[in-house]
Amino acid sequence: MRIDRLVAPWAQRAPDRIAIDGTEEALTYAELDALANRFARAFCAAGLRPGDRVGVHVPRSGRTVAAMLGASRAGAVYVPLDPGSPPARMKLVAEDCGLRQVVISNSLLANWLAAGVREPVEHFFLAGDGPGPAGAAPAVVHPWAEVTAASPEPLPPPGESPDELAYMLYTSGSTGVPKGVMISHRNALAFTEWAADQIELGEAERVASVAPFHFDLSTFDLWSSLSRGATVVIVDETTVISGRRMLDRIHAKGINVWYSVPSALVLMLDDGGLAERGAPSLRTVFFAGEVFPMKHLRRAMAALPQARFWNLFGPTETNVCLAYEVATSPPPEALAIPIGRPSCGDTAAILDPEGRPVPDGEVGELIVDGPTVMLGYWEGGRRTPAKRPYPTGDLVSRRPDGELMYHGRRDHLVKIHGYRVELGEVEAALLSHPGIQEGIAMAVDQQLIAVAVPADPAVSVLDVKRYCATRLPRYMVPSDVRLVEELPRTSSGKIDRVRTRTAFIAADWSLLRPAQRAEVRKES
Amino acid sequence: MEPRVKADIRQHIVSTWLSGDERGFSEETDLQESGILDSFSTLALIAFLDRTFSIQLEPAEVNAQTFRSVSTIARLVMDKLAKNGAGA
């Protein structure tokens, strides 16, 4: 099976059912199917060849899904781009995988052009009405009317092999350059079909789309739903920042299935009145991406007594590889819930640094094999096949009852509100600032912190933040930047990350003396 | 009243997100472009404004225009206070 085949059968069986219920427009299955074909034809008319990459840089909507599906039907690989990332980072991605065609919203294209980003894109397809910004030449800007004028008839199917590359998700890379995780049709569907089976997702059920499309959680929202004839309800970016707005959307749309990071559920408890209002339509809650603090999980389960809760686990490289159904609210003494057992046809081993299996109860690295393990990385313009079995970098242990427990990462990958962030990438951006001599990034309580030594006393915290915001997506810009005179060192002379972190948490400024600030006249 | 509102908002932003370093920061500084506001800090800022000025910002009132700078946020707060009849 392939992603490009999922929608057509439902366009026959239930043409008038809503497939994507967006903020501004809803697309029925027939409309989504037709629009995907129009996109596929528009891409091909602009010279797309099988295996080419197509960037999709549009806020989540029916049109966005149609563009991804259209690229897939044209035999191309879709690359969802983060609408919250600055053009400079998108340029790195576009150059890395040679994006010659990009579907983009009118306002994001204006941002790209203002930042001087055109190469290597040859064709921009506007996802919004109107002429779009000027100044894209030599790239061609195709207005929305050109896509809708293309024929809705299907192209010949691009291929049969489920092992071809379906899409790439760019994630934070430790060297400072984002890298693409290459996912095949088989990889994607191993998870999305497993998840749909697990909860017996029914046609016409309503599934929330909360996660951004460049985030692997969204593959369930889209491809599980569209495979079963369900309706995807978009919970857009202006809604997900408010617990009240999210819960209003659940109530207004009668959402049945929800998959998000735990933070979104905590927000609905703290700021949306979830405990008082409940959400009777919700029958399944999947969560993943970060640890769900026990006290909040108990509150969520108490507020939604009718819902089944599942903890899904896996790095982007394996999508979901472990799962645990939280059958009953964790007892007061529980410090954590398991990340579960292998799912989606995968197998798991826990190995010590010498590659030997560890006994039950001891911590080792989680090694995964099976159908969800990615094809490999696309990085620096090259494809590197995944190691198999795949070492995840996650430290886990096995309980006597067979459930796996999570113990953190073995490297510098951290999670901020569910987004994975390579501290190395933040540090690379920080250190590329000409006025910064050295610095490190760290995560403390879901906050990204940078502690840096300025080379030039005139450098301000605002300078550093503004500079980072031009190079990193918003969620990777340190929320707290401390400029200090020097950083603590280990005996080998390296920056002592542990002591820096401890000093920061304890606000012990004797270790981290604030840098002398140059006296400058205040702007007013 | 307005200078006071501006000063409170400015002070809060500088102490919360700029480690107290106000060099280069002004009432017109673009809070999005300068990496100060993201979805989570926006949420925290809304909570601060609601609490400090005893207002209740509605979802539709919070957008890239109204939350662009200290000035635009102060204007929004002043409008809310006037509507509540507490602005006098």
The 3-class secondary structure across A177-243, one letter per residue, is CCEEEEEEHHHHHHHHHHHHHHCCCCCCCEEEECCCCCCCCHHHHHHHHHHHCCEEEECCCCCCCCH
H/E stretch holding A19 reads: strand A18-21
Tell me which residue in B21, B35, B59 faces A460 most closely, judged by beta carbons: B21
Task: Read off the pLDDT band of A241 (50, 70, 90).
Answer: confident
Find the closest chain A residue to B29 by CA distance: A462
Evaluate whether the domain defined by B2-83 bears CATH number 1.10.10.10.
no
Query: How high is the mean pLDDT of chain B?
Result: 90
A22 or A408: which carries more pLDDT confidence? A22
B60 interfaces chain A, CB cutoff of 8 Å? no
> CA A324, A371, A289, A439 torsion: positive or negative?
positive
In chain B, what residues touch A522 (CB-CB under 8 Å)? 22-23
Which residues between 65 and 84 in chain B have a beta carbon less than 8 angstroms from any beta carbon of chain A? Answer: none
- CATH 3.40.50.980 boundaries in chain A: 1-160
- Greater pLDDT, A415 or A188: A188
**Fold classified for A185-410:** Rossmann fold (3.40.50)
Highest CATH level, class, for A1-160: alpha beta
Nearest chain B residue to A518, by CA: B23
pLDDT-derived band at A518 (thresholds 50, 70, 90) equals low
Residues carrying CATH 3.40.50.12780, chain A: 185-410
Question: Helix (H, G, I), strand (E, B), or coil: what is residue A88?
Answer: helix
Give chain A positions within 8 Å (CB) of B36.
462, 465
Residue contact B39–A469, C-beta within 8 A? no
Report residue A299 as tokens: 């509150």
The Cα of A285 is separated from the nearest Cα of chain B by a number of Å equal to 22
**3-class secondary structure, A126:** strand
Q: Which part of chain A is CATH 3.30.300.30? A: 415-505
Is residue A350 classed as helix, strand or coil in its secondary structure? Answer: strand
Verify cis geometry, omega within 30 degrees of 0, for the bond prior to A120. Answer: yes
Complex ipTM, two decimals? 0.91
- Option in A241, A468, A481 nearest B39 (CB): A241
pLDDT score at A519: 59
Architecture field, domain A415-505 = 2-Layer Sandwich (3.30)
B:7-46 residues touching chain A, CB 8 A cutoff: 17-19, 21-27, 29, 33-36, 38-43
How confident is the model over A289-311, as pLDDT tens digits? 888 888 899 999 999 999 999 99
Determine, for residues A469 and B41 on separate chains, whether the beta-carbon distance falls below 8 Å: no
Which residue, among A495, A439, A493, A445, has the nearest Cα to A467 in the 3D structure? Answer: A439
Q: Write down the mean pLDDT value for chain A.
A: 93
Query: Model confidence at A522, in pLDDT bands (50, 70, 90)?
Result: very low
Q: List chain B residues with CB under 8 Å of A237.
A: 39
Question: Per-residue pLDDT for B10 more than 70?
Answer: yes
Q: CB distance B33–A477 less than 8 Å? A: no
> What pTM was computed for the model?
0.84
Task: Give contacts of A463 with chain B, Cβ < 8 Å.
Answer: 24
| pLDDT at residue A524, as a whole number | 41
Span A53-75, mean pLDDT?
97
